[in-house]
Amino acid sequence: MSHPPFSPAQARAARLRIGLTPEQVVAAMAQLGVHHLAQTVISWETGVAAPSETELFALADALWCSVPELMALQPRSLREHRLARHFTAERLAQRIGMDVHTYARAENDHDWSGTDRQTLFLADALGLEPGELLRVIGRAGELDGILRQAVEGRWKQHTATLARLVGAPERRVAQALRTLHQEYGRFNERYMGHLVARSDHARLKEIATERADWLHALPDRFLHLADAGTRPSP
């Protein structure tokens, strides 16, 4: 596996901020079971070398900072979220009940194949809210597509699918879809009313823009209404 993202400048800044020498850093890492010479820390800070995942975890602990700080990024991918939570691939796979090779393939190929239960355990382990979870596992587009079908047509037939997708009770999903379907219907009623009344083009365009903005925010509004994120206990 390739080295994780790492910022030499952030590592040096974190060390200087708490006033440690490279020797003191490696001494702290040794207490965590990672043994190196001070020169290794210097090589990381100068960009000559980069730490492995295990070394990154130990370095963050030794420097009293978060892993994302040393990676100098806001976690977005599945691997980055895993690293931010100090999980090795093996430990996370075990936590969610997935074969480690299957998990590693999902992470490397950006193609999540976990069961509904494994997906909910993943969200719990990584502390992901439903919207972020769907983005991380590549299903945000799927949610948006199903929601648009639901508000534009027969919403009831999509209830079970959406409940599984976001990990929310079907009853709450049904309530959310009913509300959204009604809201979307009111947009159409307003538009057709102004069309029949032969309102000016500017007013029709204004309503169309409002509807487009509403559709853009549809996934987040749905997740809020459904109170998604009910997770089973491991």
Q: Where are the domains of the chain?
A: 8-71, 78-128, 140-226
CA distances from 157 to 134, 177, 213, 223 (A): 21, 10, 25, 18
User: Is the pLDDT assigned to residue 196 strictly greater than 70?
Assistant: no
pLDDT value of residue 47? 96
78-128 to CATH, choices 1.25.40, 3.20.14, 1.10.260, 1.10.1060: 1.10.260
Amino acid, single-letter form, for residue 220: D
Global confidence as pTM: 0.73
- pLDDT tier for residue 198 given thresholds of 50, 70 and 90: low
* The domains spanning 8-71 and 78-128 adopt the same CATH topology: yes
- Tell me the pLDDT band of 69, cut-offs 50, 70 and 90: very high
The residue with tokens 């109170």 is 227
* 193 — pLDDT class (breaks 50, 70, 90): low
User: What phi and psi, each to the nearest 5 degrees, are found at residue 174?
Assistant: -60, -40
Superfamily of domain 8-71: lambda repressor-like DNA-binding domains (1.10.260.40)
CA distances to 20, 169, 179, 192, 218 from 185, in Å: 63, 24, 10, 11, 14
DSSP 173-188: HHHHHHHHHHHHHHHH
Which range (62-76, 106-120, 196-210) has the least confidence? Answer: 196-210
Decide: helix, strand or coil at residue 65: coil
Mean pLDDT along residues 191-201 = 63
| Cα–Cα distance, 8 to 72 (Å, whole number) | 9
Per the prediction, the chain carries an average pLDDT of: 89
- The pLDDT value given to residue 230: 43
